[in-house]
Structure 1
Amino acid sequence: MSSTSYFTASSSSTPSSPHRIHDVFLSFRGGDTGFTFTEHLYKALVGRGIRTFRDDKMGSGEGVAPELLKVIEESRSSVIVFSENYFHSRRCLDELVKIMECQKDLGQAVFPIFYHVDPSHVRKQTGSFGEAFADYEENWKDKVGRWRTALTEAANLSGWHLLDG
């Protein structure tokens, strides 16, 4: 299936699924990829007529705004750009949990991109990702289990592993 036909295909709204406003919700850590890879990806998607939402449009901070959760729900799919510092943002991890919930509950497609990171490190939370989680275990015990599950599920999906810029 070509990405263009997937993203531009129309679907009817049902009471159990929200109205789809965006074709793609783009999740990324801005400091790692915001003005390089992710910017090029965003422009390429928009240039192909794919309605794409970048999560940097709702401000910064660690909390995920309810409006952003709604945007995730109203998207047909999500592209997650996992990068070296993605895991150092609780906001990114909370977004990821919501994305994976929408995949299960609403049938959204999820496409992971591993940007200069090893997919197995994401899957198992090892390497620098393990270090980030060691800090979280102490202060965010209520969320760590959901974050770990979401990371493992996302890393088990077919995606792209990019080693070069």
Structure 2
Amino acid sequence: MTEIIAGVLEKNNLHGAIFTSFCGGAEMGQAIACDRWIPLVSFTGSSKVGQMVQQIGNEQFGKCLVELSGNNAIIVMDDANIQLSLLHESIYQTVFDQLIGVYKQVKIGDHLEKKILIGGSVIEGESNFVQSTIVEISSDAPVVMEELFAPVLYVMKFKAMNPAYHLEVIAPL
């Protein structure tokens, strides 16, 4: 990823080294966030770690950009334009069938190929990909309350707006 971004920067007359990407655990993340020589920290990941990075940045009057996880619902009422995912029971099956049709079209692989919608760099040899998945699930399933870094869409039915709103509010940030 760093090589690709450096190439784009250099093609636009910027030095490729102005961007650096690190992958690592909590110790590396904390060291980077606490380093006063790093003027801007951009973090993508869990809400728990993002709050820690932001707090460290605030204490040092540093700059932080955080893109944190979400598990937000899309509430679809029975009078919605379903072309536009708690689903009202009267439109549930129609929307669900359309979602499955769209998911079947998703190609996984080298992200530089024009027909690929989801992917990373080419991995030589054996590799694993998480297939885009739609899951019919109960709102009280423990996994619904957890953050998930995978292309999974949970779909639930509802009858009335108040319970649907409650489900959206209790989902973690």
TM-score, structure 1 length as denominator?
0.31
Q: TM-score w.r.t. structure 2 length?
A: 0.30
Higher helix share: 1
| Higher relative contact order, chain-length normalized (CA < 8 Å, sep 6+) | 1
